[in-house]
Chain A
Amino acid sequence: MFRPFGWDEFVIIVMAAQWTIALSAIAFAGGAVGGLMIALARVSDFWPLRIAALGFIRIFQGTPLLMQLFLVFFGMNILGFGINPWVAASIALTLHASAFLGENWRGCIEAVPPGQREAATALGMRYYNRMRYIVLPQAGRIAVAPTVSFLVQLIKGTSLAAIIGFTELTRQGQIINNATFSPFMVFGTVAAIYFVLCWPLSLLAHRMEVNLSRATNR
C-alpha cells in the first residue's frame, strides 16, 4: 500500500529545502569569486586572458547546465576521484555561476565611464588600487540588481542536481512521490517552496532595478 501524503511528508519536503539553500550558497560564493576573476580577465589589457575568459563564458552559456553537471560528475570519476554528488554539483554550479556572473559583471565594469579610470591613472594609482577603490565600487552599485536576479536562476538551477542523485528539494519530492504516489500534491508543494524562496528575491531585484534607473536618470 502507498502511504498517504500527510503532515510528516510535507515536513520532510520542507526540510529538504535546506540542502537547496546550502547548495545555492556554495555555488553563489564560489561563483562570486570565479565571476570576479572572469570579469577582470574579460576587461584585462592582456589579450590572451581576454580570449580565454570569453571562451569560458561562451562554453558555459552555450551548453545546458544538465550536461555541465554530467560532465563534472563523470569526469571526476575518470580523474580518479570517487563519485560524489555533493562535490560534483558544487563544482559544476560554481563554474556555471562564474561564467554568468563574470559576463554580467563585465558589463557593469564597462558601464563605469572610462574617465574614472583615466583620472585614477593620472593620480598615479596602480591596477590594484584603481580597481579596488575607483572602478569596482562604482560597478558594484550597478551590479546588485542583476546579481540578485541571477541568484534566482541559480536556485532554480540547483534542482538539476537531483538528476545526478543529490538529495535536495526536487529529489526529496521524487522520493516522497515514490512512497505516496500523490504527484499532484508532492510536486505542487515542491513548486510552492521554490516559489517562496525565489519570489522575494525577484521582487527585490525588480525594486532595485527601478530604484537604480530612477537614480541614474535624474
Chain B
Amino acid sequence: MYEFNFALVFASFDKLLLGAWLTIRLCCAAMLLGLIVSITCAWSKTSGPAPVRFVINIYVEVIRNTPFLVQIFFIFFGLPSLGLRFSPNEAALVALVVNFGAYGTEIIRAGIESISKGQVEAGTALGLSRLQIFRYIVMIPALRTVYPSLTSQFIYLMLTSSVVSVVSANDLAAAGNDLQSATFASFEVYVIITIMYLLMSIGFSGLFSTIGRISFKYPLSR
C-alpha cells in the first residue's frame, strides 16, 4: 500500500509560494502588455487599412490555431536562430503576451463592433476629437461589455502559464517539478500544486468580479 507523505511537500512550501508569486507576476505582466497589444490590434482591425487588417488576421488565426506549447518552443528554441535570444522567464513572458494578445484582440474587436455606428457619428457631431471618441465612446463601453470574457481569458492564461515550466522558467509548476525530483513524492507534490492553481483561479475570478462591480457601476439606462 502506498503511503502518502504530504509532510515532505509542506517542508519546502516556501519554494512553492515563491513559484506561485512568479506565476502571478508573470500573468499580470502578460495581461497588461497583452491588453495593449489587443487594444491596438482590435482598433486597427476595425478601422485600419486593408493590409494592416490582413496581417493582424494572420497573427490572430495562427496563434489561436496552434498549441501554446509549440508557440513557446518556437520562441525559446526557434527564434535564437534569427538572433533573438531570451532567458527562460523572458521567453515565458513573450509567449504569454503573444498568446493573450491574439485572444484579447478577438474579444475586444467583438466589443468594439457592439458599439453602434450612430454613437461614433454623434461624437463627431458634438465636435469630439478622434482620441476622445476612441476613448469615451468606443473603448470604455466596449471594455465594459467584454469585461467578463477578458477576465475568464485571464484565468485561462494563468492555467496555460503552467506550460512555461518546460523551458525552465521558474513558475509554480517548475517549483513543483524541482520538488518532485528532490522528494520523489510526485503525486503529493502535484496534488498540492493543483490545489494552489485552483485557489489562485478562484481568488482571481472573485477579485475581478469585485473590480468589475466597483469600476463599471455607472448607470446603463435611465
- Assess whether A75 is in contact with B173, with CB atoms less than 8 Å apart: no
- Assess whether A170 is in contact with B197, with CB atoms less than 8 Å apart: no
Give chain A residues whose Cβ lies under 8 Å from the Cβ of B2. 78
Task: Give the number of residues in A that approach B within 8 Å (Cβ atoms).
Answer: 38
Known: A62-B197, A64-B197, A67-B190. A187 touches B70 (CB 8 A): yes
* Residue among B61, B77, B163, B186 making CB contact with A187, cutoff 8 Å: B77
Taking the complex as formed, is B78 at the interface, i.e. its CB lies under 8 A from any CB of chain A?
yes
**Interface code A38-75, partner B: CB below 8 Å = 1, 0 otherwise?**
00000000000000000000010011111110110011
A31 smallest CB distance to B (angstroms): 17
Give chain A residues whose Cβ lies under 8 Å from the Cβ of B190. 67, 70-71, 74
State in angstroms the CA–CA spacing of A198 and B70 once bound together.
14
Taking the complex as formed, is A188 at the interface, i.e. its CB lies under 8 A from any CB of chain B?
yes
- Assess whether B159 is in contact with A183, with CB atoms less than 8 Å apart: no
Known: A67-B190, A160-B163, A184-B78. A194 touches B198 (CB 8 A): no
Task: Give the number of residues in B that approach A within 8 Å (Cβ atoms).
Answer: 37
Give chain B residues whose Cβ lies under 8 Å from the Cβ of A68. 194
A33 smallest CB distance to B (angstroms): 24
Give chain A residues whose Cβ lies under 8 Å from the Cβ of B81. 182-184
Give chain B residues whose Cβ lies under 8 Å from the Cβ of A130. none
What is A's interface to B at a CB cutoff of 8 Å?
59, 62-68, 70-71, 74-75, 77-78, 152, 156-157, 159-160, 162-163, 170, 173-174, 177, 182-184, 186-188, 190-191, 194-195, 198-199, 202
What is B's interface to A at a CB cutoff of 8 Å?
2, 61-62, 64-71, 73-74, 77-82, 155, 159-163, 166, 173, 186-187, 190-191, 193-194, 197-198, 201-202
